Structure 1
Amino acid sequence: MTATSPRPTLVIGYGNTLRGDDGVGRYLAEEIAQQNWPHCRVISTHQLTPELAEAIAAVEQVIFIDAQWHQDQSSPLVQCQPLYLPPPEQISGELGHRGSPLELMALAKILYGVEVQAWWILIPAFTFDYGETLSPLTAMAQAEALAKIRPLVLGEI
Protein backbone atom coordinates (compact mmCIF):
# COMPACT_ATOMS: atom_id res chain seq x y z
CA MET A 1 0.00 0.00 0.00
CA THR A 2 1.38 3.40 -0.97
CA ALA A 3 0.41 6.70 0.53
CA THR A 4 -0.19 9.99 -1.22
CA SER A 5 -0.41 13.42 0.35
CA PRO A 6 -3.70 14.14 2.08
CA ARG A 7 -5.96 16.52 0.16
CA PRO A 8 -7.87 19.30 1.91
CA THR A 9 -11.12 17.54 2.76
CA LEU A 10 -14.45 18.51 4.24
CA VAL A 11 -16.46 15.78 5.97
CA ILE A 12 -20.15 16.59 6.45
CA GLY A 13 -22.14 14.19 8.59
CA TYR A 14 -25.84 14.91 8.78
CA GLY A 15 -29.02 13.53 10.31
CA ASN A 16 -31.27 13.72 13.33
CA THR A 17 -29.59 12.42 16.50
CA LEU A 18 -32.97 12.23 18.25
CA ARG A 19 -34.30 9.63 15.78
CA GLY A 20 -32.21 6.51 16.39
CA ASP A 21 -30.14 5.41 13.40
CA ASP A 22 -30.80 8.67 11.52
CA GLY A 23 -28.05 10.27 13.62
CA VAL A 24 -25.28 7.93 12.44
CA GLY A 25 -23.86 10.47 9.95
CA ARG A 26 -23.41 13.03 12.69
CA TYR A 27 -22.00 10.51 15.15
CA LEU A 28 -19.41 9.35 12.61
CA ALA A 29 -18.47 12.93 11.72
CA GLU A 30 -17.92 13.67 15.40
CA GLU A 31 -15.77 10.54 15.75
CA ILE A 32 -13.64 11.68 12.79
CA ALA A 33 -13.31 15.16 14.32
CA GLN A 34 -12.00 13.63 17.55
CA GLN A 35 -9.30 11.80 15.58
CA ASN A 36 -8.03 15.16 14.30
CA TRP A 37 -6.97 13.99 10.84
CA PRO A 38 -4.62 16.38 9.00
CA HIS A 39 -6.09 18.61 6.29
CA CYS A 40 -9.61 17.60 7.34
CA ARG A 41 -12.42 19.86 8.47
CA VAL A 42 -15.53 18.23 9.90
CA ILE A 43 -19.08 19.53 10.12
CA SER A 44 -21.84 17.70 12.01
CA THR A 45 -25.26 19.13 11.17
CA HIS A 46 -28.94 18.35 11.35
CA GLN A 47 -29.49 18.93 7.63
CA LEU A 48 -27.75 20.22 4.52
CA THR A 49 -28.24 23.96 4.05
CA PRO A 50 -27.08 26.45 1.38
CA GLU A 51 -24.49 27.96 3.74
CA LEU A 52 -22.41 24.80 3.39
CA ALA A 53 -21.58 25.64 -0.24
CA GLU A 54 -18.91 28.13 0.90
CA ALA A 55 -17.16 25.48 3.00
CA ILE A 56 -17.34 23.01 0.11
CA ALA A 57 -15.76 25.53 -2.26
CA ALA A 58 -12.75 25.88 0.08
CA VAL A 59 -11.57 22.24 -0.20
CA GLU A 60 -10.48 19.76 -2.86
CA GLN A 61 -12.91 17.03 -1.81
CA VAL A 62 -16.03 16.65 0.28
CA ILE A 63 -17.43 13.53 1.91
CA PHE A 64 -21.11 13.45 2.81
CA ILE A 65 -22.19 10.91 5.45
CA ASP A 66 -25.84 9.95 5.92
CA ALA A 67 -28.10 7.13 7.06
CA GLN A 68 -29.92 5.06 4.45
CA TRP A 69 -33.01 3.15 5.47
CA HIS A 70 -32.76 -0.62 5.03
CA GLN A 71 -35.55 -3.10 5.47
CA ASP A 72 -33.40 -6.21 5.00
CA GLN A 73 -31.11 -6.75 7.98
CA SER A 74 -29.46 -9.86 6.54
CA SER A 75 -26.75 -8.13 4.53
CA PRO A 76 -26.44 -4.41 5.27
CA LEU A 77 -23.55 -2.85 3.40
CA VAL A 78 -22.09 0.63 3.62
CA GLN A 79 -22.22 2.33 0.23
CA CYS A 80 -19.42 4.62 -0.90
CA GLN A 81 -20.54 6.42 -4.04
CA PRO A 82 -18.65 9.04 -6.02
CA LEU A 83 -20.80 12.06 -6.85
CA TYR A 84 -20.60 13.92 -10.15
CA LEU A 85 -22.23 17.18 -11.11
CA PRO A 86 -24.59 17.04 -14.07
CA PRO A 87 -23.77 19.12 -17.18
CA PRO A 88 -24.03 22.90 -16.58
CA GLU A 89 -27.30 23.23 -18.49
CA GLN A 90 -28.90 20.82 -15.99
CA ILE A 91 -27.80 22.75 -12.89
CA SER A 92 -30.72 24.85 -11.70
CA GLY A 93 -29.09 26.64 -8.77
CA GLU A 94 -32.23 26.03 -6.71
CA LEU A 95 -31.84 24.53 -3.26
CA GLY A 96 -34.80 23.19 -1.38
CA HIS A 97 -35.47 23.48 2.36
CA ARG A 98 -33.53 20.26 2.90
CA GLY A 99 -30.69 20.14 0.40
CA SER A 100 -28.97 17.21 -1.18
CA PRO A 101 -25.24 16.70 -1.69
CA LEU A 102 -25.57 17.31 -5.46
CA GLU A 103 -27.51 20.54 -4.88
CA LEU A 104 -24.75 21.80 -2.59
CA MET A 105 -22.05 20.86 -5.06
CA ALA A 106 -23.97 22.68 -7.79
CA LEU A 107 -24.33 25.73 -5.59
CA ALA A 108 -20.56 25.75 -4.91
CA LYS A 109 -19.98 25.61 -8.67
CA ILE A 110 -22.49 28.40 -9.42
CA LEU A 111 -21.42 30.76 -6.61
CA TYR A 112 -17.68 30.11 -6.40
CA GLY A 113 -16.80 28.49 -9.74
CA VAL A 114 -15.41 25.45 -7.92
CA GLU A 115 -16.07 21.80 -8.59
CA VAL A 116 -14.74 19.45 -5.95
CA GLN A 117 -14.38 15.69 -5.87
CA ALA A 118 -17.20 14.27 -3.77
CA TRP A 119 -18.22 11.04 -2.09
CA TRP A 120 -21.50 10.00 -0.53
CA ILE A 121 -21.23 7.49 2.28
CA LEU A 122 -24.58 5.84 3.01
CA ILE A 123 -24.75 3.84 6.23
CA PRO A 124 -27.49 1.22 6.64
CA ALA A 125 -30.14 2.31 9.14
CA PHE A 126 -32.99 0.25 10.52
CA THR A 127 -34.79 2.25 13.18
CA PHE A 128 -35.88 5.87 13.21
CA ASP A 129 -37.80 5.71 16.49
CA TYR A 130 -37.33 8.46 19.06
CA GLY A 131 -34.08 7.90 20.90
CA GLU A 132 -30.40 8.74 20.82
CA THR A 133 -28.88 5.28 20.39
CA LEU A 134 -27.98 3.37 17.26
CA SER A 135 -29.23 -0.12 16.50
CA PRO A 136 -26.49 -2.77 16.79
CA LEU A 137 -26.28 -3.27 13.01
CA THR A 138 -25.97 0.45 12.31
CA ALA A 139 -23.30 0.78 15.01
CA MET A 140 -21.30 -1.98 13.28
CA ALA A 141 -21.83 -0.31 9.91
CA GLN A 142 -20.51 2.96 11.37
CA ALA A 143 -17.16 1.25 12.01
CA GLU A 144 -17.16 -0.11 8.44
CA ALA A 145 -17.88 3.38 7.10
CA LEU A 146 -14.95 4.82 9.07
CA ALA A 147 -12.67 2.23 7.46
CA LYS A 148 -13.87 3.35 4.00
CA ILE A 149 -13.53 7.07 4.72
CA ARG A 150 -10.07 6.99 6.29
CA PRO A 151 -8.15 6.25 3.04
CA LEU A 152 -10.16 8.88 1.15
CA VAL A 153 -9.16 11.56 3.64
CA LEU A 154 -5.64 10.49 4.50
CA GLY A 155 -4.54 9.60 0.96
CA GLU A 156 -3.95 5.95 1.71
CA ILE A 157 -4.37 4.00 -1.50
Structure 2
Amino acid sequence: MSCHLAATLKSLRRAILVVAYGSPLHSHDAVGQQVVTEVAAWGMPNMKAIAVHHLTPDLAEPLSMADLAIFVDASTSAAQEIQVRPIGLDNSAIATGHGCEPQVLLAKTQTVYGYHPQSWWVMVPGGNVEPGEVHSPVAEQCVETVLQEIEQLIHQPGQTYA
Protein backbone atom coordinates (compact mmCIF):
# COMPACT_ATOMS: atom_id res chain seq x y z
CA MET A 1 0.00 0.00 0.00
CA SER A 2 1.38 3.41 -0.95
CA CYS A 3 2.08 6.02 1.73
CA HIS A 4 -0.48 8.34 0.14
CA LEU A 5 -3.20 5.68 0.18
CA ALA A 6 -2.36 4.72 3.78
CA ALA A 7 -2.58 8.37 4.85
CA THR A 8 -5.89 8.78 3.02
CA LEU A 9 -7.36 5.68 4.68
CA LYS A 10 -6.13 6.84 8.06
CA SER A 11 -7.76 10.24 7.57
CA LEU A 12 -11.12 8.54 6.95
CA ARG A 13 -11.13 7.14 10.44
CA ARG A 14 -13.29 9.03 12.82
CA ALA A 15 -12.81 9.61 16.51
CA ILE A 16 -14.70 7.29 18.85
CA LEU A 17 -15.19 7.96 22.55
CA VAL A 18 -16.41 5.23 24.91
CA VAL A 19 -17.37 6.56 28.34
CA ALA A 20 -18.26 4.10 31.08
CA TYR A 21 -19.55 5.52 34.29
CA GLY A 22 -20.28 4.12 37.71
CA SER A 23 -18.53 3.50 40.98
CA PRO A 24 -16.10 0.58 41.16
CA LEU A 25 -17.12 0.23 44.82
CA HIS A 26 -20.77 -0.56 44.09
CA SER A 27 -21.00 -4.13 42.81
CA HIS A 28 -22.24 -4.26 39.23
CA ASP A 29 -22.08 -0.47 38.88
CA ALA A 30 -18.40 -1.11 38.13
CA VAL A 31 -19.08 -3.28 35.07
CA GLY A 32 -18.30 -0.30 32.85
CA GLN A 33 -14.75 -0.24 34.22
CA GLN A 34 -14.27 -3.77 32.89
CA VAL A 35 -15.77 -2.81 29.52
CA VAL A 36 -13.43 0.19 29.20
CA THR A 37 -10.40 -1.99 30.00
CA GLU A 38 -11.40 -4.43 27.26
CA VAL A 39 -12.12 -1.67 24.72
CA ALA A 40 -8.76 0.00 25.42
CA ALA A 41 -7.07 -3.38 24.80
CA TRP A 42 -8.41 -3.34 21.23
CA GLY A 43 -5.67 -0.81 20.50
CA MET A 44 -7.65 1.23 17.98
CA PRO A 45 -5.74 4.50 17.47
CA ASN A 46 -8.89 6.50 16.82
CA MET A 47 -10.72 5.21 19.89
CA LYS A 48 -10.50 6.60 23.41
CA ALA A 49 -12.05 4.68 26.31
CA ILE A 50 -12.46 6.34 29.69
CA ALA A 51 -14.08 5.37 32.97
CA VAL A 52 -15.53 7.94 35.35
CA HIS A 53 -17.62 7.77 38.51
CA HIS A 54 -20.15 10.31 37.21
CA LEU A 55 -20.79 12.15 33.98
CA THR A 56 -19.72 15.74 34.55
CA PRO A 57 -19.70 18.86 32.35
CA ASP A 58 -15.92 18.65 31.85
CA LEU A 59 -16.54 15.69 29.51
CA ALA A 60 -17.98 18.15 26.97
CA GLU A 61 -14.51 18.86 25.57
CA PRO A 62 -13.59 15.25 24.68
CA LEU A 63 -17.14 14.77 23.36
CA SER A 64 -16.67 17.76 21.07
CA MET A 65 -13.75 15.96 19.42
CA ALA A 66 -15.60 12.67 18.85
CA ASP A 67 -17.59 11.56 15.83
CA LEU A 68 -19.22 8.75 17.80
CA ALA A 69 -19.78 8.54 21.55
CA ILE A 70 -20.89 5.41 23.38
CA PHE A 71 -21.94 5.66 27.02
CA VAL A 72 -21.92 2.48 29.13
CA ASP A 73 -23.80 2.37 32.43
CA ALA A 74 -25.17 -0.23 34.81
CA SER A 75 -28.94 -0.16 34.89
CA THR A 76 -30.94 -0.58 38.08
CA SER A 77 -34.09 -1.42 36.12
CA ALA A 78 -35.68 -4.85 36.23
CA ALA A 79 -34.66 -5.48 32.61
CA GLN A 80 -32.55 -8.59 32.13
CA GLU A 81 -31.22 -7.66 28.70
CA ILE A 82 -28.73 -5.07 27.55
CA GLN A 83 -30.48 -2.00 26.21
CA VAL A 84 -28.91 0.08 23.44
CA ARG A 85 -30.55 3.42 22.68
CA PRO A 86 -29.63 6.40 20.55
CA ILE A 87 -29.25 9.55 22.62
CA GLY A 88 -30.74 12.89 21.71
CA LEU A 89 -30.19 16.27 23.31
CA ASP A 90 -31.99 17.39 26.46
CA ASN A 91 -31.81 21.16 26.66
CA SER A 92 -34.37 21.32 29.46
CA ALA A 93 -32.16 19.81 32.15
CA ILE A 94 -29.16 21.41 33.81
CA ALA A 95 -25.73 19.81 34.02
CA THR A 96 -24.28 20.25 37.48
CA GLY A 97 -20.75 19.70 38.64
CA HIS A 98 -21.86 16.55 40.45
CA GLY A 99 -23.16 14.55 37.53
CA CYS A 100 -25.71 14.43 34.76
CA GLU A 101 -27.31 12.13 32.21
CA PRO A 102 -25.75 11.61 28.75
CA GLN A 103 -28.41 13.65 26.92
CA VAL A 104 -27.75 16.62 29.20
CA LEU A 105 -24.02 16.31 28.64
CA LEU A 106 -24.57 16.24 24.88
CA ALA A 107 -26.71 19.37 25.10
CA LYS A 108 -23.92 21.08 27.04
CA THR A 109 -21.42 19.99 24.38
CA GLN A 110 -23.68 21.40 21.65
CA THR A 111 -24.10 24.69 23.52
CA VAL A 112 -20.40 25.21 24.25
CA TYR A 113 -18.81 23.76 21.11
CA GLY A 114 -21.61 24.05 18.55
CA TYR A 115 -21.41 20.31 17.92
CA HIS A 116 -22.24 16.98 19.51
CA PRO A 117 -21.35 13.50 18.27
CA GLN A 118 -23.75 10.78 17.24
CA SER A 119 -24.27 8.99 20.56
CA TRP A 120 -25.53 5.72 21.98
CA TRP A 121 -26.37 4.61 25.51
CA VAL A 122 -25.58 0.99 26.43
CA MET A 123 -27.30 0.02 29.67
CA VAL A 124 -26.15 -3.16 31.39
CA PRO A 125 -28.66 -5.03 33.56
CA GLY A 126 -27.78 -6.38 36.96
CA GLY A 127 -29.61 -4.38 39.57
CA ASN A 128 -27.11 -4.73 42.41
CA VAL A 129 -25.51 -1.41 43.34
CA GLU A 130 -24.87 -2.27 46.98
CA PRO A 131 -21.39 -1.52 48.31
CA GLY A 132 -18.96 -4.24 47.29
CA GLU A 133 -16.71 -5.28 44.47
CA VAL A 134 -18.61 -8.34 43.25
CA HIS A 135 -20.48 -8.06 39.96
CA SER A 136 -23.88 -9.69 39.78
CA PRO A 137 -23.90 -12.85 37.65
CA VAL A 138 -26.13 -11.11 35.10
CA ALA A 139 -23.76 -8.14 34.76
CA GLU A 140 -20.70 -10.39 34.56
CA GLN A 141 -22.26 -12.36 31.68
CA CYS A 142 -23.11 -9.13 29.89
CA VAL A 143 -19.55 -7.81 29.46
CA GLU A 144 -18.87 -9.83 26.30
CA THR A 145 -22.27 -8.91 24.87
CA VAL A 146 -21.64 -5.22 25.61
CA LEU A 147 -18.34 -5.45 23.74
CA GLN A 148 -20.15 -7.00 20.78
CA GLU A 149 -22.75 -4.21 20.88
CA ILE A 150 -19.98 -1.60 20.86
CA GLU A 151 -18.38 -3.30 17.85
CA GLN A 152 -21.72 -3.24 16.03
CA LEU A 153 -22.18 0.46 16.77
CA ILE A 154 -18.70 1.20 15.41
CA HIS A 155 -19.28 -0.82 12.25
CA GLN A 156 -22.78 0.42 11.40
CA PRO A 157 -23.65 0.22 7.71
CA GLY A 158 -22.87 3.51 6.00
CA GLN A 159 -20.50 4.67 8.75
CA THR A 160 -16.69 4.72 8.72
CA TYR A 161 -15.55 4.74 12.32
CA ALA A 162 -12.88 2.06 12.23
In the alignment, the residues of structure 2 paired with residue 13 and residue 107 of structure 1 have an alpha-carbon distance, to the nearest angstrom, of 18
Alignment of 1:82 onto 2:86:
yes
In structure 2, the CA distance between the partners of 1:110 and 1:85, relative to structure 1 (3 Å rule), is: same
Deviation of the 1:27 alpha carbon: 1.8
Alpha-carbon displacement from aligned partner over 1:58-96 (angstroms, at most 9, x marks no partner): 011100000001446xxx11011011225xxxx257312
For residue 37 of structure 1, give the secondary structure of its aligned residue in structure 2.
coil
Query: Do 1:15 and 1:66's aligned partners in 2 also have CA atoms closer than 8 Å?
Result: yes
TM-score normalised over the length of structure 1? 0.84
In structure 2, the CA distance between the partners of 1:6 and 1:150, relative to structure 1 (3 Å rule), is: farther
Deviation of the 1:156 alpha carbon: 5.5
Q: Which runs of 5+ in 2 are unaligned?
A: 1-11, 158-162
Residue 102 of structure 2 corresponds to which residue in structure 1? Answer: 101
Residue 126 of structure 2 corresponds to which residue in structure 1? Answer: 125
C-alpha RMSD of the superposition: 1.8
In the alignment, the residues of structure 1 paired with residue 81 and residue 39 of structure 2 have an alpha-carbon distance, to the nearest angstrom, of 20
State the structure with bigger RCO (CA 8 A, min sep 6), 1 or 2. Answer: 1
Q: Which runs of 4+ in 1 moved over 4 A?
A: none
Residue 5 of structure 2 corresponds to which residue in structure 1? Answer: none
In structure 2, the CA distance between the partners of 1:53 and 1:77, relative to structure 1 (3 Å rule), is: same
Give, as a single letter, the amino acid of the residue that structure 2 aligns with 1:80. Answer: V
Deviates more, 1:62-71 or 1:12-21: 62-71
Q: Which runs of 5+ in 1 are unaligned?
A: none
How many residues of Structure 1 are paired with residues of Structure 2 in the alignment?
145
In the alignment, the residues of structure 1 paired with residue 134 and residue 51 of structure 2 have an alpha-carbon distance, to the nearest angstrom, of 17
For residue 61 of structure 2, give the secondary structure of its aligned residue in structure 1.
helix
For residue 30 of structure 1, give the secondary structure of its aligned residue in structure 2.
helix
Query: Do 1:6 and 1:38's aligned partners in 2 also have CA atoms closer than 8 Å?
Result: no
Residue 25 of structure 2 corresponds to which residue in structure 1? Answer: 18
Give, as a single letter, the amino acid of the residue that structure 1 aligns with 2:59. Answer: L
Deviation of the 1:23 alpha carbon: 0.8
Match among 26, 37, 40 for residue 47 of structure 2: 40
Give, as a single letter, the amino acid of the residue that structure 2 aligns with 1:145. Answer: V
Query: Do 1:68 and 1:124's aligned partners in 2 also have CA atoms closer than 8 Å?
Result: yes
In structure 2, the CA distance between the partners of 1:79 and 1:54, relative to structure 1 (3 Å rule), is: same
TM-score normalised over the length of structure 2? 0.82
